[in-house]
Structure 1
Amino acid sequence: MDKRLVLFVYIVCFGLVSSTSEPNAYAPEIISSVFNSRDIPLFQGTVREDETVVHLEPQLFARDNDTVGSARLICRYEIVSNIKKIPFVIEVKNRETGEGLLKVHEGERLSYEKRKTYKFNIFAFDCVDPPYDKKSSRAVVTVKVVAADRSAPVFEKTTYNADLQEGVLSQNITQVKAIDRDAAAENSAICGYDIVSDEAPFTITSNGIIKNTKAIYHKDAYNYILKIRARDCAGKVSEPAYVNIIVKETCTNGWTDFPDHIEYTPGSEYKYLTDSARLHVCAGSCVIDRVSVRVNLATNHIGKGCDRDTYSILSQRKLCGASDESVDLLPTATLASNWTNVVPSDDGNDGDRIFAFDGKSHHVVVPDAYTDHHLDSHFTISTWMKHSGHDDLVTKDTKPHHHGNKEHLLCMSDGDGMNRHHYALFVHNSKLVFLLRRESSDPADLEVFKPAEWRWLLDEVNDGRWHHYALSMYFPELRLLVDGKVVEANQDNFEMLDDWPLHPTDKVHYSKLVIGACWKGLDETFADHFQGYLAGLSLLKGRTESDKVIQCLNNCQENLEFTDLENMPSGTSVSFNSEKTEFTITGHNASDVEKLVHKVAYINNRNFPTPGRRNLNIRTSFHCGDTEEILPLLETYIFVEHSNRPIITMSGKQVVMGYRDTLETGLDIFRDVNIHVDFMLLTNGEENRNDTDSEEEEIGNDTSPPKQQTDVKSKNVPVVHSGGSSEDPSSHFLLDMCTLRAEPVLDFYVEHLELPKRDIKDFNMKLEGIETAAGLVILNADTIANYLTVIRHIRYVHTHADNLHMRNFVLSCSSQSGRFVSNELSVSVGSLERDTEEPRVVPVARIQSNGAQQSIQDPKFSHTLQGAAGTNFGMVAIIVVCVGFLLFMIVLGVLRIRAAHHRRRPANESGQEMEWDNSELNIIVNPIDQELFEYEENPRKSTLPDDSDTDDDVSDGFHDDGNESSEEEAETYKKTLEWDDSAY
């Protein structure tokens, strides 16, 4: 064949082939940002052994610079390694970008334990089919296998036990530990522990060490159970473990489980201090041979040192059987005397009235008429005193000196001409001094030295607490009792000085007895004022008071009691002070003493004790031979609750009429009086101001009388009725004062009040009365029955009863020195005439005064009463006139109606008694009016006093209307309406 033809055919054929084939000029290229030193792309991959996708850094991409057809696409990657088996495969996710995903080959499972790292080469291929496909240069891939966190932490023990000493902040109570069975260190590490118990005062560190965040005590919790979990660094949490922390009680000698307070209900009997307290003795202590416990009840903040009777000193003296001849030198101001009002005092509701002396100007001058100032050779002076010392005062531990002024409790001195002190009781520094200068006209006695001054050095004088002092003189012996106990005189606490008697003199004409200072007659000034508080200052002359009576006056109504003297263990003893406010119990071992303390109880015998807190202190000591261990002071308190408040109610007639001849000899004006007592149950916020005192109140200047109690019914509060049986609580209720106030004051020239002195004497009553122009006061504590006996027989005497129209008396009673006060019962008294020829009708009306109805006389009586009582009764007189006129008009209208009815009656009925026509007018009769006016069917009749000289006479009123029959009707009315004297 022609070579030219062959070449032509070859060129044509080659051109045809070339025109139908794709160009593949470039090989693929693997893209990476990381290269080794030989510019080979590098890839780092990690995969957890339980995962299937390898995380490569940087991400795998490849490219091909060919621009046409399949040559520009990446179709596959190839892994090449000298390792027999590579458990990976590369999946092309995007041919355009050549993105590849390195995955664990299906069916393969990585194992961290078998191989931790893989290293291999990879190649990228384009999509041109063989034999023309091209591959990229190699890249190196390193894959690190990460172990999977297969296991959660596990505690070495499921339960832990630990001890914690009470009161200790421990930094390592115990340590818990958990492990993780994962092989990889990052999975097997424990990253922390957690306490999942609620509000537990504990914390735990990352190492499992448990600490307490506050001090814990056995009495609060015996143990704590903590629930704890562990967590590894991958976040897996363990099953819980439990830690039981036992709070170990610190063994200390002393009491446990003693109550923090004891509540006492008034009226109850004994209240035991405790029945559960335990006295512990620790092992390892010395061998104890004696245990001593002292229980002290602190009552100095209550009243005058404890809850004594709240009756007045006079009432207490009566109750204790003291002499009736004793004189109260600081009496409570009453209708009979008010000269003690010059010194500030309290209201006396918690006992005797307390008088406050300022040390500068306060003093009381005892009137000459009240008591004879001079002393006999036998007498007793007693008083309550509260006095505080000064910085420069002498004590038993310092050398006596003469600084400080005398402070006179009592001083009787010359009234004029001289400054001699006849007798005096005063405080000088820390001494209580009594001075007595005898007075004698016998020349033989004037030159004889005799005891004149007695001095006692006493801690009580300046301790700022209430104490009772009683000096009993049986000349020349003088005995001092402090708080009911005789002061034993010795050279350290007592001295006595002699002096001349007082010589007779013409310079002095009278003496002056002063409380709280001393009078200088020559200078006419008061000096040496007392600064402090006094109560119940009394003087008994001509005899001395027995020690038993003085001790009774000091008896405290609240105290501790020991209730099991019969069953005391052998070797134990119980002792107490005279007030029974301090008990000392001793024994050979703690268990015996503990049992005896359980038998100590508190009791308050007052019916109405002062409510509030009484501190209770328990001091305990152990003795081991010559060694004594004093335990810490145990403090608790007794809380006395409020008692039921008595409501005293007085009732009776408010109008009493008597015939004039009866009034001239004496009329029982309170014979219908009744006194009733109910007991109101107190609730919180309803307490009386005087009952909320747990700390002694300061003395103020308020000397006003106590306020009248409000009617219980208006309060709508629960009331315990006193009933009327033998268990009636009112039968044991004592009154201590009833006041009968005259309005206006009595005119002793024509009227007075009489007490039934024979009844008081015959029934051996403790009552006594004082009458003044203002009225009558009945004093001293006694039963309601005895008070009623006296009150119902009080007689009102008016020697000129024809001049008596109407006068008013107001009666009220109280208990416990005004702590509980009754309502006021107002009674009006009027006079009647017997069987006069011209009987008169006294119109009766009603007014209100202090809640009680009173009868009001006719206009003439009102006018007379107004003149006698002054301008204060002007308004009453006007009301009386108006009401009387209104009643007059009503009666006039009734009589007119009856007159008309009478004219229509048949003639044969004219002789019958007048009858009311109820069909035309209904009249409601006041019950008190019914007692005053009775109709003809009552067989006892009397006529009304004539009132013909009055302008408002009833008969004149009938004539005024011009009715011809009115005079006859008036006469008939007069005859049928009469006084019933049976009620008076």
Structure 2
Amino acid sequence: MTLLLLFLLLGSLLPSSSCNKANKHKPWIEAEYQGIVMENDNTVLLNPPLFALDKDAPLRYAGEICGFRLHGSGVPFEAVILDKATGEGLIRAKEPVDCEAQKEHTFTIQAYDCGEGPDGANTKKSHKATVHVRVNDVNEFAPVFVERLYRAAVTEGKLYDRILRVEAIDGDCSPQYSQICYYEILTPNTPFLIDNDGNIENTEKLQYSGEKLYKFTVTAYDCGKKRAVDDAEVEIQVKPTCKPSWQGWNKRIEYAPGAGSLALFPGIRLETCDEPLWNIQATIELQTNHVAKGCDRDNYSERALRKLCGAAPGEVDLLPMPGPNANWTAGLSVHYSQDSSLIYWFNGTQAVQVPLGGTAGLGSGPQDSLSDHFTLSLWMKHGVTPSKGKKEEETIVCNTVPNEDGFSHYSLAVHGCRIAFLYWPLLESARPVKFLWKLEQVCDDEWHHYALNLEFPTVTLYTDGISFDPALIHDNGLIHPPRREPALMIGACWTEEKNKEKEKGGDNSTDATAGDPLPIHHYFHGYLAGFSVRSGRLESREVIECLYACREGLDYRDFESLGKGMKVHVNPSQSLLTLEGDDVETFNHALQHVAYMNTLRFATPGVRPLRLTTAVKCFSEESCVSIPDVEGYVVVLQPDAPQILLSGTAHFALPAVDFEGPEGVPLFPDLQITCSISHQVEAKKDESWQGTVTDTRMSDEIVHNLDGCEISLVGDDLDPERESLLLDVASLQQRGLELTNTSAYLTIAGVEGITVYEEILRLARYRLRRGAALYARKFRLSCSEMNGRYSSNEFVVEVSVLHSVNRVTHPSHMLSSQQFLHRGHQPPPEMAGHSLASSHRNSNHSLCLVESPSLGSSQGHSCLGSWSVWV
């Protein structure tokens, strides 16, 4: 019985002991916490406070909270338990936090109990709660200005809402301390205000005549009233009243020949005075009409230039110099251009009729007539002249020529700014065709060259070497054919109906001249020069460009960097360049690359006026600005002159028998011609040289042409009965050179290379008639190039003729031995410069030449070998 009671007692006690060790519930915490921690502090204030509850309380261990765990990457916080029984805890920073580094932190927290015993077995954890901790800022940073110095410029007499804006920043993280609440001008008595955003304005109108530069100091405060440690300086410049214009250009622009392309406005910029523009158009005009015929071209004569450019011969001059064989131009007014070319003036009431055949070489037969292949070439200066009635056509040339099947007819005329070519292949059957071009060059009253190539049915017009296709072609079938007679008229044309023009009231017509029963009309008013025609063969494009294209003009090559929306247009003669765009900076860049270029090695020096005209369009028409014109000039400097040097033997003496030979004696057997250009160079001193460098010019030898040489006499002219200058005419003609041989000089004219002229001049010979009593002669040689623009040195050669002396019978011009050997007697004038000396009376003596000091001999004597001398 006792054992049973003991067993029952133990059974009742066992359940009670197992309950004490049980951990049935998880701890519980809030789902979310909001925390605040002050910058540079570590205690986090949580809302709600951190408490963990456990339903196993008040059991020891199972009902107690042993701690908290934080979950998250790099969480700078930790959680500690303050009271295990109540579950109170706190979160604190492991080290002071920085708001500027991170303003907010988010992580999770979990509570855990103490388990079932001191060993912490069977520990239970709560759910994970989210914790948001915000770091409260502390005003630890002062404002800092973005710039230490601010600069601006204002125009006098204006009040600005904002001249410039200063800016300060703050390194704090919160809006309260990181924002700049206000700025302050520290310098007293300044006519400026600054607002809370840092905008500075003027309180009164500033005058350029007063203070031109204002300097003052500003500071900044953040919203925590902390002032900037370093203040900022402000400089405001007062400028005179703004005038829209081009800035940064030079009125005078110097161009050195050979410099290539030279920018005209490298630093130019457009001042718009803050007026917004949406379109800019500028025109640059280069005036070259005063340079020769409209612009700088090669300085050779027309004939020389044709040879250099490879033009085929055979052209016929329709307006030659008046003379016995060309009297049809005698009645015209004659002028001369700067390059000495002949110019004819047609006053609108006169014309010339070119005779057929003879000098003209036209229309004398089918072999001389114009076929359907020919080239007309002329210089023309024509402007539009006001008239009472309708502007009439002005005829330049009118021609009817015979051909194998009958007659053909053509005319070239101008009508206002149009130029027209009428061609009638066959008067008997074909219909006339009229080709029209509209060109500003026709009526601008400037010199231009026109070359018309007819290769029917194709017609090409070249103006200043640039080709133009016809703008319009008319089939003029209703035109009454002209008379079927050969006729060539320049400056007007004839009409079949005698009184038709007068009945219409036309002023541009007259009655026929003597020998011409038909009236003349359509008179030309302007200048003509260099008018020629060549039939049967056309001038090529390359030849025409070489002959007549301008060698100077405006140039633009920077198309790769041309901005968006920019347009560039250059007229054919390169005298007018137009730019158009919508952005000022892009436009400035484009204009800075407009250049002047002259491709001639020896450019014509002088002034080329320059004008820049600008038109702008503004967003506001009422306040739109006007840009004044820019006027300047390009000065083409004098080119470095070529130095043409002639050198060789300056004196020689030969026996008379050599001069009396059939070919005479060469005057310049070892002639050397060199051409070089001396130019200024920067002096450079060698490191080992201790002296000074004074020679700063360098000479570069160049390959060049000559256009003429002259051999003239120093002293009396040649006596044709006793002496002559000889040169092979055939060799000159083969090279297209002209020879003029007179008693005073011999000239060679025509463009050729230096080596050719050397070869020809070495063949120039001096010949004496046998028995001529001549003893010495001086010849002067000089050459020129560029149509006589540059000349060589004068190379003087003295020749001495050595005669044998007969003792018994000597001519009157010879001396006897007694006279010759007389010490006090001078030889006759014609023997000046040399004498005979003998110390023995043999039949053979050594002949010596006694040279005058002017011949450059330091000794004054030179023995010429052994000659027979009869004494």
In the superposition, the TM-score normalised over structure 1's length comes to: 0.48
2:760 maps to: 790
Mapped partners of 2:448, 2:618: distance in 1: 39
Distance 1:493 1:735, change over 3 A: farther
Q: Secondary structure at the residue paired with 2:432?
A: strand
Mapped partners of 1:840, 1:305: distance in 2: 69
- 1:554 offset after TM fit, Å? 3.0
- 1:607 offset after TM fit, Å? 3.1
Instruction: Provide Cα deviations, 1:832-871, integer angstroms capped at 9, x if missing partner.
Output: 99999999899799xxxxxxxxxxxxxxxxxxxxxxxxxx
Instruction: Provide Cα deviations, 1:905-945, integer angstroms capped at 9, x if missing partner.
Output: xxxxx77965799xxxx955578799xx9988737x6x7xx
Counterpart pick for 1:383 among 378, 381, 391: 378
1:267 aligns with 2:248: no
- 1:543 offset after TM fit, Å? 0.5
Maintained 8 Å contact 1:311/1:352: no
Q: Secondary structure at the residue paired with 1:305?
A: coil
* Runs of at least 5 residues in structure 1 that lack an aligned partner in the other structure: 1-161, 169-208, 226-243, 415-419, 439-444, 683-717, 846-881, 903-909, 944-969, 973-984
Mapped partners of 2:725, 2:353: distance in 1: 30
Mapped partners of 2:408, 2:709: distance in 1: 39
- 1:400 offset after TM fit, Å? 4.7
- 1:429 offset after TM fit, Å? 7.0
Mapped partners of 1:746, 1:542: distance in 2: 47
Distance 1:503 1:277, change over 3 A: closer
Instruction: Provide Cα deviations, 1:121-170, integer angstroms capped at 9, x if missing partner.
Output: xxxxxxxxxxxxxxxxxxxxxxxxxxxxxxxxxxxxxxxxx9985599xx
- 1:255 offset after TM fit, Å? 2.7
Spell out the pairing of 1:790-939 with structure 2 (5 A cutoff). 790-794=760-764, 812-822=782-792, 885-886=828-829, 924=851, 938=865
1:353 maps to: 341
Structure 1 stretch displaced more, 462-471 or 820-829 = 820-829
- The structure having more radius of gyration, on CA atoms, is 1
1:769 maps to: 738
1:562 aligns with 2:550: no
Counterpart pick for 1:466 among 447, 454, 461: 447
Instruction: Provide Cα deviations, 1:445-482, integer angstroms capped at 9, x if missing partner.
Output: 67324538767676544432111111212245443322
1:484 aligns with 2:465: yes
Mapped partners of 1:588, 1:489: distance in 2: 35
Mapped partners of 1:372, 1:835: distance in 2: 60
Mapped partners of 1:747, 1:339: distance in 2: 38
- 1:364 offset after TM fit, Å? 10
Higher strand share goes to which structure?
A: 2
Spell out the pairing of 1:674-685 with structure 2 (5 A cutoff). 674-675=672-673
Q: Secondary structure at the residue paired with 1:276?
A: coil
Identity fraction in percent? 26
Spell out the pairing of 1:630-779 with structure 2 (5 A cutoff). 631-637=626-632, 638-646=634-642, 648=644, 650=646, 653=650, 664=662, 668-675=666-673, 723=699, 727-728=700-701, 731-739=702-710, 754-755=727-728, 767-770=736-739, 778-779=748-749
Higher helix share goes to which structure?
A: 1
Maintained 8 Å contact 1:450/1:500: no
Maintained 8 Å contact 2:270/2:584: yes
AA of the residue aligned to 1:257: G
Distance 1:558 1:793, change over 3 A: same
Spell out the pairing of 1:2-13 with structure 2 (5 A cutoff). none
- 1:630 offset after TM fit, Å? 7.9
2:267 maps to: 276
Distance 1:279 1:305, change over 3 A: same
AA of the residue aligned to 1:301: H
Mapped partners of 1:575, 1:927: distance in 2: 65
Q: Secondary structure at the residue paired with 2:585?
A: helix
Instruction: Provide Cα deviations, 1:372-410, integer angstroms capped at 9, x if missing partner.
Output: 23443121121212234432188xxxx4547xxx66568
Distance 1:885 1:352, change over 3 A: closer
Structure 1 stretch displaced more, 299-308 or 802-811 = 802-811
Distance 1:586 1:390, change over 3 A: closer
Distance 1:681 1:836, change over 3 A: same
Spell out the pairing of 1:355-374 with structure 2 (5 A cutoff). 355-357=343-345, 359=347, 372-374=361-363
Distance 1:381 1:304, change over 3 A: same
Aligned residues: 597
Mapped partners of 1:493, 1:593: distance in 2: 43
AA of the residue aligned to 1:593: F
Superposition RMSD on alpha carbons, in Å? Answer: 6.2
Mapped partners of 2:710, 2:352: distance in 1: 27
Distance 1:512 1:474, change over 3 A: closer
Counterpart pick for 2:432 among 451, 466, 481: 451
Maintained 8 Å contact 2:424/2:430: no
Mapped partners of 2:705, 2:761: distance in 1: 15
- 1:296 offset after TM fit, Å? 2.8
- 1:891 offset after TM fit, Å? 8.8
Spell out the pairing of 1:488-499 with structure 2 (5 A cutoff). 488-490=469-471
Spell out the pairing of 1:500-579 with structure 2 (5 A cutoff). 500=481, 503=484, 522=515, 532-579=526-573
Counterpart pick for 2:298 among 297, 303, 309: 309
Mapped partners of 1:740, 1:937: distance in 2: 27
AA of the residue aligned to 2:707: D
Q: Secondary structure at the residue paired with 2:865?
A: coil
- 1:585 offset after TM fit, Å? 3.7
2:308 maps to: 319
AA of the residue aligned to 2:543: V
Distance 1:312 1:329, change over 3 A: farther
- 1:544 offset after TM fit, Å? 0.8
1:610 aligns with 2:604: yes
Structure 1 stretch displaced more, 455-464 or 267-276 = 455-464
Maintained 8 Å contact 1:332/1:353: no
Maintained 8 Å contact 1:744/1:807: no
* Runs of at least 5 residues in structure 2 that lack an aligned partner in the other structure: 1-151, 159-203, 215-234, 364-368, 495-511, 681-693, 816-824
1:596 aligns with 2:577: no
AA of the residue aligned to 1:788: E
Distance 1:614 1:818, change over 3 A: same
Mapped partners of 1:222, 1:666: distance in 2: 92
- 1:733 offset after TM fit, Å? 4.1
Mapped partners of 1:772, 1:362: distance in 2: 38
- 1:321 offset after TM fit, Å? 3.1
Mapped partners of 1:815, 1:890: distance in 2: 35
Mapped partners of 1:434, 1:808: distance in 2: 59
Distance 1:354 1:819, change over 3 A: farther
Mapped partners of 2:259, 2:305: distance in 1: 23
Structure 1 stretch displaced more, 465-474 or 527-536 = 527-536
AA of the residue aligned to 1:643: P
AA of the residue aligned to 1:357: W
AA of the residue aligned to 1:885: P
Q: Secondary structure at the residue paired with 1:971?
A: coil
In the superposition, the TM-score normalised over structure 2's length comes to: 0.53
Mapped partners of 1:270, 1:621: distance in 2: 26
